[in-house]
Amino acid sequence: MKFTKMHGLGNDYVYVNCFEETIENPAALAQVISDRHCGVGGDGLILIAPSEKADARMRIFNADGSEAEMCGNGIRCVAKYIYDHNVAEAGQVFSVPGRPPFPASLKIETGNGILTLGLDIDDSDKVRKVCVNMGQPILNPEEIPVNLPGEKVVEQPIEVLGQKLLMTCVSMGNPHAVFFCDDVDAIVLEKLGPVIENHALFPNRINVHFVQIDQPAEFTMRTWERGSGITMACGTGACASGVAAMLTDRQGRICTGHLPGGDLELNWCQEDNCVYMTGPATEVFEGIWPD
C-alpha cells in the first residue's frame, strides 16, 4: 500500500489515496501505522477517497482506531494532496470576506458535510496554504453533544481532579471544550486531558483545549485531542477556541491562534456566521506499507 506522510503545523497523519488503494479495515490499520515506534508514526490515518458529491471524500481515523468527524489540519493536507498529485481538477476563485481571493478551490466531503477550500499556489504550482470554510459553529449542547441544559455552554463550571474549571463548548463538526487560563505552559495537560476527554458530560468524548489570551487578536493554545492525546496542532480546536474567545468577550472575530506547531489565521465572519481557517500544509515523504 502506498502512503504519504503529511502534516499541518505538526499535526501529522498518514494519508492514503483510496482512488488507487483499497483498505478493508482502516480502524485496525490506523492503530498500527500510527505507532511512532513500530509504525510510520502519526496522530492517525486519513483516507482520500472518491465522492459522488465533491472532488474527494476525507475519512479520519485517530491513533486509537476511532473515526473522527472532522480534522482542520487534515483537510488542508487533503486539499494539497489532491491539487499537487492531480487527483481532481481545481475549481474557480475562492473568495473570503475581508481578504484577497484565492486563485483556486476544491470541495471535500467530510463527516461535517461538504466544505469549500481556497488554495494559495506558489510559483512551482504547489499548494503552500489552504483556507477552509469550516462552516457555522454549533453551540447547542444537545448537538455538540454535551449533557447539559440550556442554549449554550459558556463558562460552565466543571470539577476535574479536584480543580474547578470554567469551560466553553463548541462543535466545528466535532466536539470541543475550551478552558481559558493565564499560562498554558503551567497546565498539566497529560493529566487533565484524558480525564476531561472521557468525562460523563460528553457522550462522544471531547477534544480539550487550554487557551491563553496574549493580545486583543492573538491567543496561545495547547490541545489534548480525542483519541490521539497531546498534539502539535488542532485546526478545528483553534476555530472552536476563537469562537469561545468571542463568546466570552475576550477577543473579536478575527484573530491568530498560536499553536505548538505554528500559527493559524481565524475569522468568524459576521456576514455568513462561518469560521474561516487559513494555514499551511506540508508533504513530508512517501512510502510503501507492507501487507
Question: Residue 231's domain is classified under what CATH number?
Answer: 3.10.310.10
Residue 97's pLDDT band (cuts 50, 70, 90): confident
pLDDT of residue 212: 98
Same domain, 69 and 91: yes
Backbone φ and ψ of 140, nearest 5°: -70, 125
Average per-residue pLDDT in the chain? 97
pLDDT of residue 184: 98
Query: What single-letter DSSP state applies at residue 90?
Result: -
Does residue 16 belong to any structural domain of this protein?
A: yes
Task: Name the domain count of the chain.
Answer: 2
Same domain, 23 and 47: yes
Does residue 65 belong to any structural domain of this protein?
A: yes
Same domain, 165 and 123: no
Nearest CA among 257, 287, 291, 275 for reference residue 6 = 287
Backbone φ and ψ of 166, nearest 5°: -110, 125
Here the cell at position 46 is 486519513
Q: Which of 77, 169, 234, 255 is catalytic?
A: 234
Does residue 139 belong to any structural domain of this protein?
A: no
The 10s digit of each residue's pLDDT in 28-62 is 999 999 999 999 999 999 999 999 999 999 999 99
Same domain, 123 and 185: no
The yes-or-no verdict on residue 291 having pLDDT over 80 is: no
Q: Are 183 and 212 in contact (CB under 8 A)?
A: yes
Same domain, 113 and 168: no
Burial class (CB in 10 A: 0-12, 13-18, 19+), 1: middle
Backbone φ and ψ of 172, nearest 5°: -115, 40
Residues 6+ apart with CB under 8 A from 131: 94, 96, 102, 117, 118, 120, 276, 277, 278
Interval 170-180 mean pLDDT: 97
Does residue 148 belong to any structural domain of this protein?
A: no
The 10s digit of each residue's pLDDT in 116-137 is 999 999 999 999 999 999 999 9
Residue 180 lies in domain: 156-273
Does residue 15 belong to any structural domain of this protein?
A: yes
Query: What single-letter DSSP state applies at residue 101?
Result: P
The yes-or-no verdict on residue 159 having pLDDT over 90 is: yes
The dihedral sign for the CA sequence 139, 100, 81, 114: positive
Residue 51 identity: S
pLDDT of residue 111: 92
**Active site annotation includes 38:** no
SS3 137: coil
pLDDT of residue 217: 96
Does residue 46 belong to any structural domain of this protein?
A: yes
**Active site annotation includes 71:** yes
What are the b/e assignments for 62-87, b being 16+ CB within 10 Å? bbebbebbbbbbbbbbbbbbbbbeeb
Same domain, 18 and 126: yes
Does residue 140 belong to any structural domain of this protein?
A: no
